[in-house]
Amino acid sequence: MSAQVTETAHGSLGLGVDDLLAMHRTMLTARLIDEAALRQNRMGRAPFVVPVSGHEGCQIGTAWPMRPGIDIWVPYYRDLGVVLVAGMTPEQIFLGLFSKASDPTSGGRQMPSHWSSRGLGIVSHSSPISTQVPHAAGIAYAMKYRNEDGVVASWFGEGATSEGDWHEGLNIASIHRLPVVFICENNEYAISVPQSKQMAVADVASRAEGYGIPGFVVDGNDVLACFRVMKEAHDRARAGEGPTLIECKTYRFLPHTSDDDDKSYRSREEVEERRHHDPIERFATYLVDGGITDRAALQTVHDEVKTQVESAIKAAWDAPDPDPATATRHVFAEDDP
Amino acid sequence: MTEKNLVTAIHDTLHDEMAADDRVVLIGQDVGARGGVFKVSEGFMAEFGEQRVIDAPLAESGIVGVAIGMALHGLLPVAEIEFADFIHPAFDQILSEASRMRYRTNGDWGCPMVIRAPCGGGIHGALYHSQSIEAFYAHIPGVKVVMPSTPADAAGLLHTAIADPDPVLFLEHKKCYRLIKGDVPDVPQPTPIGQADVKREGTDLTVVSYGYELHRCLDAAARLEQDEGIHAEVVDVRSLAPLDTETILVSVRKTARAMVVYEDNRTYGAGAEIAATIAERAMFDLDAPIVRIGGPDIPAMPFAGALEHYYMEPEPDHILVAMRDLAHF
Ligand SMILES: Cc1ncc(C[n+]2csc(CCOP(=O)(O)OP(=O)(O)O)c2C)c(N)n1
Ligand SMILES: [Mg+2]
């Protein structure tokens, strides 16, 4: 059972003007951090960047119904937008990018964009693809066992759905009807491998049927459509109705990482065409056309965010590096200071 | 004190831990109605319910991965791998996830969990129900690996493992399950992880071992003492990671002769690490070269009785003979 979600009007979604403007600002923050991070990379100050541009609609849309402090976030490396909604600040993002001692994700131990913050309920993930999916099921099991009201959400790419751990996690979560939402950010490529070589089906969401759970395809560039399908999945999870698989069809505008050359596997025409479906511009148009804001106000937001990002970079760059003497710490709990 | 065999000691300890703390949950194949293929969780489902005694689908990576998630959210999962031979699909979850959750978050998150796995051969288990897997996992920083050889150590180490804030791989030698009996304290006595135990005192040579081989070493030592007056000291490693090098070195410095006996394939096995430690730190205390006895480097272990016997005992009484030779070197 997989269904198409199209409706976008915010009126029926319970979102106020403040929500809409905050969503837009968060999308823009992700985009401007992305662009600034790549500039830092070219300046030789950031060895490794994972771009998000193009994914902001599906990330902010699916992250928005989550309740910080109650729900648990199990993201993957592309989820800059998700962790911003969870409460990470631009300065913290850049502390990670520059692998500083106070990087909240790992104190400079992991590559950038390997998110984590226990305080924010963001679960640490590694580089091996899909290993976080069974963790999401286990956390949801613990929530259900402890009669908590929480929901777990796990994000991943469409390439990730080929891994055994992905299947094992969804299967166990579905057997126990756990409060977890699985969100696929389908950008058509796993590095260079196109979807046609990743799977024989058109929609990842159609796999939901094999687990006996609902699956939905949603336009990932439509932030409100993503919000709606996630809100319903989140409600179902809280009501004890088990997991949902959401597939957001989207596109990555930039190379896979700062080390990738995407010209080798996709044409410039293709990328240019997909930029016409930019989720941020689309949402801005919706806000302006609906009389919620105007272009001048959006420009002000843009300038504010840009200033915020610039001061975050400055503060993070000036922060101290990790002390080499700490490299052997935290292998076991007894090593903790 | 009550006399028990090894598997009963594990059953009873796990039972008491579950009764004492409802954060302890069991997840594995056939652990529910069947009570585990070795009956370690017999009666648990009826007593603790399906929510705490979870019959998992056939997916070892999923079992360990889900247990990691549980550990991250306040539970104390005990994951059972039906046979250690089938743990390999979960290698990535153990290596890349459980073992380095604490390290990679700079101490923010941790994984308090136990993975139990029946291992070892000599039970007609052939290539896929006999393997020794400890070396793969003892090599990983961030995982503790223990293998108790007596019922008391099994009870004490399981108690400690469940309380440990980090992942512990708890290996149970199948041949010891019903063969090895001993007194177990009625009130749990925690056995520290990372502490070896001198199971037999002696002055002429030191034999370092663990698992089922430990009992063969003890048997050989008893016969050598009675028949030939050779006094072998036998050290039970108990914990492969972290390894208690001090207890081993103290014994070796006393006897000046060292031998390591392990069932795993000889090459790159745990005995190699132990022998290297002795060579590095006690070379000038030794009167003879270190002797290393491991299993042959063939996929452990063939099914036919004669072939399996070759794996366990390539020459008649090979452990005793090697001990005698070392004592007379
Ligand atoms: C287990 C594993 N295999 C290979 C890689 C190398 N790798 C990193 S990202 C990636 C592609 C993932 O694609 P997808 O899941 O679609 O996510 P996207 O990057 O497109 O957002 C690959 C193959 C890896 N990190 N882990
Ligand atoms: Mg992709």
Q: In the numeric block, which tokens belong to residue B35?
A: 């009570």
Q: In the numeric block, which tokens belong to residue B184?
A: 């177990």
* pLDDT band for position B300 (cuts 50, 70, 90): confident
Question: Cβ contact (<8 Å) for A134 and B62?
Answer: yes
* CB B220, CB B326: distance < 8 Å: no
Give the pLDDT of residue A4.
60
- A256, A274, A277, A282: which is the annotated catalytic residue? A256
What span, in angstroms and rounded, lies between the C-alpha atoms of B201 and A228?
A: 71
Gap from A275 CA to chain B (nearest CA, Å):
36
Residue owning tokens 């994700």: A105
Backbone angles phi, psi at A246, to 5 degrees: -115, 130
B167 close contact with A: CB closer than 8 A: no
Burial string for B181-196 (b: 16+ CB within 10 Å, else e) reads ebebeeebeebebbeb
Maximum distance among all Cα pairs of chain B, rounded to whole angstroms: 59
* CB B167, CB B143: distance < 8 Å: yes
Fold classification of B197-327 is Rossmann fold (3.40.50)
- Taking residue A3's Cβ as centre, other Cβ atoms within 10 Å add up to 13
On chain A, the residues whose CB falls within 8 A of the CB of B104 are 106, 109-110, 114, 116, 124, 126
Q: Give distance in angstroms: CA of A253 to centre of ligand 2.
A: 12
* CB A196, CB A189: distance < 8 Å: no
Q: Report the atom number in ligand 1 closest to the C-alpha of A185.
A: 21
- Taking residue A160's Cβ as centre, other Cβ atoms within 10 Å add up to 22
* CB B258, CB B291: distance < 8 Å: yes
Give the pLDDT of residue A95.
98
Pocket of ligand 1 (CB under 6 A): A 78, 127-129, 156-160, 185, 187, 189-191, 256
- Taking residue A227's Cβ as centre, other Cβ atoms within 10 Å add up to 27
Gap from A241 CA to chain B (nearest CA, Å):
17
Residue owning tokens 């070392």: B326
What span, in angstroms and rounded, lies between the C-alpha atoms of A29 and A80?
A: 10
On chain B, the residues whose CB falls within 8 A of the CB of A135 are 65-66, 68-69, 72, 97
User: Edge-to-edge, what's the strand order for the sheet holding A2-5?
Assistant: A2-5, A215-219, A244-249, A180-186, A152-157, A72-74
**B157 DSSP assignment:** H
Give the pLDDT of residue A6.
52
Spatial CA neighbour of A231 closest among A65, A69, A22, A73: A65
DSSP string for residues in A26-48: HHHHHHHHHHHHHHHHHTTS-S-
What is the residue extent of each domain of chain B?
2-184, 197-327
**Whether residue B242 has a cis bond before it, omega within 30° of 0:** yes
Give the pLDDT of residue A334.
84
On average, the pLDDT of chain A sits at: 96
B29 close contact with A: CB closer than 8 A: no
Distance in Å from the first CA to the final CA of chain B: 42
Query: Which one of the ligands is nearest to A157 CA?
Result: 1
**B96 DSSP assignment:** I
Mean pLDDT (whole number) for B145-166: 98
Q: Give distance in angstroms: CA of B184 to centre of ligand 2.
A: 55
Q: Tell me which amino acid residue A186 is.
A: N
Beta strands per DSSP E along chain A: 2-5, 72-74, 152-157, 180-186, 189-190, 193-194, 215-219, 244-249
Q: Give distance in angstroms: CA of A200 to centre of ligand 2.
A: 15
What span, in angstroms and rounded, lies between the C-alpha atoms of B205 and A169?
A: 51
Q: In the numeric block, which tokens belong to residue B139?
A: 């090599």
Ligand 2 ion: residues within 5 Å (CB):
A 157-159, 187, 190
Question: Cβ contact (<8 Å) for B66 and A114?
Answer: no
Question: Cβ contact (<8 Å) for B103 and A105?
Answer: no
What span, in angstroms and rounded, lies between the C-alpha atoms of A277 and A27?
A: 14
- Taking residue A42's Cβ as centre, other Cβ atoms within 10 Å add up to 10
Give the pLDDT of residue B9.
98
What is the residue extent of each domain of chain A?
4-274+297-320
Q: Which residues of B are identified as catalytic? A: 129
Q: In the numeric block, which tokens belong to residue A209?
A: 């049927």
Q: Give the tens place of pLDDT for each residue, B196-255.
A: 999 999 999 999 999 999 999 999 999 999 999 999 999 999 999 999 999 999 999 999
Q: Give the tens place of pLDDT for each residue, B169-185.
A: 999 999 999 999 999 99
Considering only the beta carbons, identify the residue of A146, A172, A330 that sits closest to B102.
A330
CATH code that applies to domain B2-184: 3.40.50.970
* CB A98, CB A45: distance < 8 Å: yes
pLDDT in 10s for each residue of chain A, 337 residues: 456 655 457 888 999 999 999 999 999 999 999 999 999 999 999 999 999 999 999 999 999 999 999 999 999 999 999 999 999 999 999 999 999 999 999 999 999 999 999 999 999 999 999 999 999 999 999 999 999 999 999 999 999 999 999 999 999 999 999 999 999 999 999 999 999 999 999 999 999 999 999 999 999 999 999 999 999 999 999 999 999 999 999 999 999 999 999 999 999 999 999 999 999 999 999 999 999 999 999 999 999 999 999 999 999 999 999 999 999 999 999 876 6
Give the pLDDT of residue B266.
97
Q: Report the atom number in ligand 1 closest to the C-alpha of A158.
A: 16
* CB B154, CB B172: distance < 8 Å: yes
On average, the pLDDT of chain B sits at: 98
Give pTM, 2 decimals.
0.97
What span, in angstroms and rounded, lies between the C-alpha atoms of A207 and A203?
A: 8
Q: Give distance in angstroms: CA of A186 to centre of ligand 2.
A: 5
- pLDDT over 60 at B125, yes or no: yes
What span, in angstroms and rounded, lies between the C-alpha atoms of A75 and A94?
A: 18
Q: In the numeric block, which tokens belong to residue A156?
A: 């991943």
Q: In the numeric block, which tokens belong to residue B158?
A: 């399981």
A252 catalytic, yes or no?
yes
**Run of H or E including B264:** strand B258-265
Q: How many residues does chain B have?
A: 329
What span, in angstroms and rounded, lies between the C-alpha atoms of B168 and B146?
A: 7
Give the pLDDT of residue A1.
43
**Chain centre to alpha carbon of residue B99:** 18
What span, in angstroms and rounded, lies between the C-alpha atoms of A278 and A251?
A: 9
Quick one: CA dihedral B16, B19, B23, B26, positive or negative? positive
Give the pLDDT of residue A3.
60
On chain B, the residues whose CB falls within 8 A of the CB of A104 are 108
Spatial CA neighbour of A112 closest among A122, A128, A124, A98: A98
The CATH number corresponding to A4-274+297-320 among 3.40.50.300, 3.20.20.70, 2.30.30.230, 3.40.50.970 equals: 3.40.50.970
Q: Between chain A and chain B, how many beta carbons pairs sit less than 8 Å apart?
A: 138
* CB B219, CB B179: distance < 8 Å: no
Q: Which residues contact B22 (CB under 8 A, 6 or more apart)?
A: B52
Spatial CA neighbour of B249 closest among B275, B225, B213: B275
* pLDDT band for position B258 (cuts 50, 70, 90): very high
The residue whose CB lies within 8 Å of the most ligand 1 atoms, and thus the one to mutate among A191, A204, A266, is A191
